[in-house]
């Protein structure tokens, strides 16, 4: 037995599927932990593959590569350095598990399997993994260590089992994606498990962007009694050495540094930066290109891109047509100059008029309408994609969640691109985030500080500028109204009648609900983008494209309990399954 344990927490950014690279990262971290005098170095959930591996994890070749990497790492622990705790997929008795392995003295000394497989929101682990049996603790370096994996602490049973079978502490590897204001939720869950078990808990989370998901790290420790022992930073890699000590038979985490965690829009902005940075860099794009319209969405996307990659890797292009105002020219140039990015002007008149000339024989006698407006957008999209093809930068898509909700976007036009950093932000949040960036520069941002988004962009009425004097509110309710209705429909799944009760007009709510439904086919073809809300389009909200259901009831339906079969306590019980 021991009375003191030095634990190195590797809050790192693995690359999906890069087994050799992740192994090299683990070796480097172990060497650093050894230099700090660590007894154990701990990594995150499924570190060797990256998280979440989705269906890729079912490939036998991936399993074999992970096991070979684990065997190599296990052999290296014969050097007398730190023991290793690390996550990987593991097949046993024909079942594939989300596993966490303990390595020491040149061998694999124990493996534990995730019991509670999440299958909600962005998670669908039951699709690819089998649940493990209830675990007991692992004896490692003189301590009995419980290793519940991520979701295993969101319920009581796994931790209760570990406590009852002799665990002295809980070390929890996580792949917990960022979501606005999720820090308190995690802390509350951890405190609940500590209160029940009376064991100290170390929560280690990965960081980095993986497609739509961003992992924020923000690892922490909770002592019996519920006190926060330490707090690691969010959105930053770090190898943190902590100590646990036994006093009077009970273990506790010794107090350590407590980083401040950005919340709300500041956290969202950091997530958008990290998500875009990792998508571009992990997919090996040399930089990005985007259309710079002089509007708020492209201005914010340009700021995020410059903060993520550095201004030298961002190319902003104004693509004017006859409806582009002098105000937009001035605002786009001022924003690009403030951020220090490359800025070019490529007029689209020849492209638009050439397309219209080609279509003239078929369009003869037809009045001009939204079709011609969309030709402008599609000409811009084609030009941006051509620049991407010729020079290699990824096109950044700049549409917000309000537009994507109601289909106020053009397929193969402004929806073109590889990634959208503001896809999960409603329009009013875009305005607030832009104002925030003007007075605050996040840690690690590579663009200049100060007012990088011109004030005029923040105050002028939004417009697509596809016709004379066009304003977004010609086609949509004011964004303050639209965003509230959309949040009720998308995040909260509220009845139309309940939304009307908040003070909205019935006709407006029903129209927005209809637009939300018929725009599903556009959203299926949209670029991936950072998830920051509880329910983003894509991994969280999956609706059928072909769908005629509309909520047209003026008040919520109340089920008639009298219709339930005799003996049933509720309609739900009667008709379940």
Contact indicator for 533, 179 with CB cutoff of 8 Å: yes
Buried b / exposed e along 184-221 (16+ C-beta atoms within 10 A): eebbebbbbbbeebebbbbbbbbbbbbbbbbbbbbbbb
- Write down how long the chain is: 577
Which residues are CB-contacts of 225 (< 8 A; sequence separation ≥ 6)? Answer: 194
Tokens of 496: 């139309």
Question: For residues 451, 429, 263 and 235, what is the CA-based torsion angle, rounded to 10 degrees?
Answer: -70
- What distance in Å separates the CA atoms of residue 263 and residue 268, rounded to the nearest whole number? 8
| Catalytic site positions | 45, 114, 150
**CA quadruple 22, 27, 31, 33: dihedral positive or negative?**
positive
Cα angle: 502, vertex 505, 549; to 5 degrees: 95
- What distance in Å separates the CA atoms of residue 191 and residue 193, rounded to the nearest whole number? 5
- What distance in Å separates the CA atoms of residue 88 and residue 476, rounded to the nearest whole number? 48
Closest CA to 422 of 413, 412, 432, 410: 432
| Integer CA distances (angstroms), 333 to 258, 302, 349, 417, in order | 41, 12, 20, 22
Which residues are CB-contacts of 252 (< 8 A; sequence separation ≥ 6)? Answer: 200, 223, 224, 229, 244, 245
Which residues are CB-contacts of 372 (< 8 A; sequence separation ≥ 6)? Answer: 356
Q: What is the DSSP string of 286-340?
A: S-EEEE--SSHHHHHHHHHHHHHH-GGGEEEEE---TT--HHHHHHHHHHHHHHT
Tokens of 319: 């693509």
- Continuous segment of H or E residues that includes residue 264: helix 264-282
**CA quadruple 472, 477, 482, 484: dihedral positive or negative?**
positive
- What distance in Å separates the CA atoms of residue 87 and residue 5, rounded to the nearest whole number? 21
Contact indicator for 150, 177 with CB cutoff of 8 Å: no
- What distance in Å separates the CA atoms of residue 303 and residue 363, rounded to the nearest whole number? 41
3-state SS class at 95? strand
- What distance in Å separates the CA atoms of residue 459 and residue 448, rounded to the nearest whole number? 22
Tokens of 252: 């506790």
């Amino acid at each position: 037995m021991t009375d003191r344990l030095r634990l190195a927490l590797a809050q790192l950014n693995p690359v999906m599927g890069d087994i050799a690279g992740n192994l090299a990262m683990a070796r480097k971290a172990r060497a650093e932990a050894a230099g700090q005098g660590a007894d154990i170095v701990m990594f995150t959930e499924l570190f060797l593959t990256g998280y979440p591996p989705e269906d890729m994890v079912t490939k036998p070749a991936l399993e074999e590569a992970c096991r070979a990497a684990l065997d190599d790492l296990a052999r290296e622990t014969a050097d007398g350095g730190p023991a290793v705790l690390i996550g990987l997929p593991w097949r046993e008795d024909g079942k594939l598990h989300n596993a966490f392995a303990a390595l020491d003295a040149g061998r694999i000394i124990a493996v534990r399997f995730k019991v509670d497989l999440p299958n909600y929101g962005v998670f669908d682990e039951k699709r690819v993994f089998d649940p493990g049996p209830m675990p007991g603790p692992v004896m490692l370096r003189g301590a009995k260590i419980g290793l519940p994996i991520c979701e295993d602490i969101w319920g009581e049973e796994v931790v209760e089992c570990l406590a009852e079978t002799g665990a002295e502490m809980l070390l929890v590897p996580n792949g917990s994606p960022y979501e606005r204001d999720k820090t308190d939720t995690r802390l509350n869950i951890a405190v609940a498990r500590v209160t029940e078990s009376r064991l100290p808990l170390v929560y280690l989370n990965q960081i980095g962007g993986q497609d739509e998901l961003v992992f924020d790290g923000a690892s922490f420790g909770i002592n019996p009694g519920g006190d926060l022992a330490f707090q690691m930073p969010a959105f930053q890699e770090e190898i943190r050495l902590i100590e646990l000590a036994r006093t009077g038979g009970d273990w506790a985490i010794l107090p350590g540094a407590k980083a401040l965690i950005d919340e709300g829009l500041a956290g969202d902005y950091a997530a958008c930066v990290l998500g875009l940075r990792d998508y571009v860099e992990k997919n090996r794009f040399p930089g990005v290109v985007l259309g710079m319209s002089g509007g708020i969405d492209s201005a914010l996307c340009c700021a995020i891109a410059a903060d993520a990659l550095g201004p030298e890797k961002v190319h902003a292009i104004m693509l004017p047509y006859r409806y582009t105002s002098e105000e937009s020219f001035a605002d786009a140039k001022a924003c690009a100059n403030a951020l220090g990015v490359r800025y070019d002007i490529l007029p689209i008149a020849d492209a638009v008029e050439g397309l219209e000339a080609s279509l003239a024989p078929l369009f003869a006698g037809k009045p001009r309408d939204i079709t011609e407006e969309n030709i402008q957008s599609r000409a811009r999209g084609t030009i941006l994609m051509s620049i991407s093809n010729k020079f290699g930068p990824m096109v950044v898509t700049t549409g917000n969640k309000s537009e994507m909700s109601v289909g106020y976007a053009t397929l193969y036009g402004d929806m073109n691109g590889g990634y959208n950093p503001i896809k999960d932000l409603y329009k009013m949040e875009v305005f607030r985030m832009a104002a925030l960036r003007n007075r605050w520069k996040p840690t690690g941002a590579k663009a200049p500080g100060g007012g990088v988004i011109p004030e005029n962009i923040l105050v002028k009425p939004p417009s697509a500028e596809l016709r004379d004097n066009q304003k977004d509110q010609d086609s949509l309710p004011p964004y303050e109204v639209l965003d509230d209705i959309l949040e009720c429909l998308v995040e909260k799944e509220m009845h139309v009648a309940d939304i009307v009760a908040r003070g909205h007009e019935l006709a407006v709510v029903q129209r927005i609900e209809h637009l939300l439904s018929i725009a599903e086919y556009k959203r299926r073809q949209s670029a991936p983008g950072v998830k920051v809300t509880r329910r983003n389009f894509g991994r969280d909200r999956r609706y059928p494209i072909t769908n005629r259901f509309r909520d047209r009831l003026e008040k919520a339906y109340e089920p008639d309990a009298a219709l339930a079969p005799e003996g049933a306590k509720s309609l739900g019980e009667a008709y379940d399954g």
